[in-house]
Chains A and B, each alone.
Chain A
């Protein structure tokens, strides 16, 4: 028996309704693919929102579901959703729980729809450079499958090994090589999804079509509140012929940002572009020191193209005062880029930590960094607020802040305070509140400021597609969650 507390539970479905659902659902997915076992509920009730980790250390979870269901096919997802809709039971889609903002917390109990058994690659279409893949496929296994066939998916979030294709699409994820291959919304060509009433629909994998708004692509970034993404057609690329690495340091961040703006404007597309502030440069690459911002670049593709690109970039960054630090730092980054061990260690020492990624244009890239850093550092307990830019576009770039604080007892209060400070600074500077982690539960409180009247439109879409409100309630800022205010 568990003595684990729930902190954000907003209620549960009557047990008799759940029992009846379970009986009927067993005919759909088989009794082995449903569990109400305590350990399955405890294990599928959270994601990688830092608050869940803090609560875990204190013997608590955000909220518990009442059932975990593992569908195997789109048809099964459809029948399960139709049944849940009829009984008005909340359903939370679940990939691999690497979401960073509490998106997968089952606030109202109900069903966790664990999609990991839908993990097949359905079709590799080499002529059209597309793969059809199911939502529950693990990222690293997806890339491995493509590599074995001579391709890459071009999508490498730091969570590659612990997230699913469906999770990427649901959260508008970004990979480390996005400057060349794009975010997941640039990589997806069409998708298949299921609505709360069981309707299965999909888009067509044509390059572009002037056929009105695309219903399937509406699901990209919907974080489980509109339905379940069950499969997608994604772009793939032949494995690159060659890679070229380069590292530069700058006198200051403004010069580094200007250099990036100029080489993107010139038409170059390095796969990896990462400009670290001096503190992060020192943390990641001690040999570069912590006095100058460092820029790492990785080019990949056909040799003549990347040689030319690297040449153009070198000329532009040199004009901006960059000092060439050679290729080795990129090797080091490649080797360490998935290592997130510091978080476990810091959490055990009583730290509160988080990463806050936002999107800036060029005009406010530097000022947003300065404003966010200042705001976070002014909160008592903050030890570190550092940043880097990655994911670069002609019109701007993503800014990724890392925060570590030791606030003593009031961890939750501190966590909320740094977020309030960071979001206010971000919005005041005119940046967008998220680039790729999405909204989940926690960032919902700022959705109105982000979208203005656009949020009303989103609420209407939600009401039309999910009239009973069963899909992942309380997320994406579409409803107020009293238990978790900003």
Chain B
């Protein structure tokens, strides 16, 4: 896993926080310590041993959603502040610092392979050995099994066989909470199971898992035994092939919330819109900040577990930008969970599609 890149970190630490207007954590807390350059300054001081790792410092550098909002205005193309902060957290953990509130979730990951403390074995279904493997991710399993049902239903409607395995967590939560060894163990376990499944393609419903598989595993030197495709692109493909035929939706208007990872890490803003536009009679409302300029729902980097109040406040801020008279559609289990407030109707894209096909 990465080591802190001091030059990039200092570029950020010396910046006047140009992106602060796009940092949701700063905007809801008002704390300079968690401003983008504020966190970089603390991380740089730690690297230079001007500060010691302790809970307070680790807490500040953990106040990052990995939402990449800061990249919208960042002049440093090589800098990925959120990744530098992950590196800082790995160093903190290695140096003995602990965030008490995440320890139970780390224990869950160790014991159950899911931060939510439940075995994902119950997921095993479909046809053993099928070409397509659907990887739902722990958050969908814990919070929105309906989205998994919807995906399975879509495979059936498209006449495709698929399989689901007893997934382990992709390892992302362990990484962002600084437990490098655990992240790697989970990743290796997953790779073994993927290989054993015999599938050639894995469809991923969760953007955090997708990014971990496609971005982080190769960085950790791990090779994927199958091709990975994200759920929006995959189901759009089925629509284009005519395997799925949407009818009218039972609603008139939806407001699409771009999940940060699809929008900014994967540049996948077109596919979800194409899917929505293929549903007859459904109007798409664009939020004031949308596409690659989307704003985080507060659910990035496991904030719903580590900082639930901040996550909820960030979600409320985002809700104000999504049309009040429309159902919210998103393509991420964390976003759905976060935006489910203020009596708003929130659907995952697969759920919307399944309702119309």
Contact = CB atoms under 8 A, between A and B. Distances in A.
Contacts of A43: 31-33, 35, 38, 41-42, 60
For B31, B73, B76, the residue with the greatest tally of chain A CB atoms inside 10 Å of its CB is: B31
A480 interface: no
A26 interface: no
Nearest to A348: B10
B20 A340 contact: no
Interface string B20-41: 1100000100111101001001
Nearest to A143: B21
A410 interface: no
B45 A59 contact: yes
B75 A138 contact: no
Interface stretch (B49-57, B114-122, B256-264, B346-354): B49-57
Interface stretch (B11-19, B96-104, B139-147): B11-19
B15 A340 contact: yes
Interface string A57-87: 1010000000010100000000000000000
B277 to A, nearest CB: 24
Nearest to B42: A39
B48 to A, nearest CB: 6
A343 interface: yes
B18 A39 contact: no
Task: Give chain A's interface residue range (CB within 8 Å of chain B).
Answer: 35 or more
A141 interface: yes
A96 B14 CA distance: 15
B10 to A, nearest CB: 6
A162 B16 contact: yes
Interface string A262-294: 000000000000000000000000000000000
A38 B35 CA distance: 16
Contact of B51 (A3, A53, A94, A97): A3
B15 A37 contact: no
Interface string A323-354: 00000000000000011110111011000000
A345 B33 CA distance: 22
For B18, B42, B48, the residue with the greatest tally of chain A CB atoms inside 10 Å of its CB is: B18
B21 A148 contact: no
Nearest to A116: B30
For A139, A159, A348, the residue with the greatest tally of chain B CB atoms inside 10 Å of its CB is: A348
A97 B37 CA distance: 11
Interface of A: 1-4, 35, 37-40, 42-44, 48, 53, 56-57, 59, 68, 70, 94, 96-98, 114, 116-117, 119, 136, 138-141, 144, 148, 159, 161-162, 338-341, 343-345, 347-348
25 contacts: A2-B50, A3-B51, A4-B51, A39-B33, A39-B60, A40-B32, A42-B41, A43-B31, A56-B41, A96-B20, A98-B16, A98-B17, A114-B31, A116-B30, A119-B30, A138-B20, A139-B21, A162-B18, A162-B20, A339-B75, A340-B75, A341-B15, A344-B12, A344-B14, A347-B14
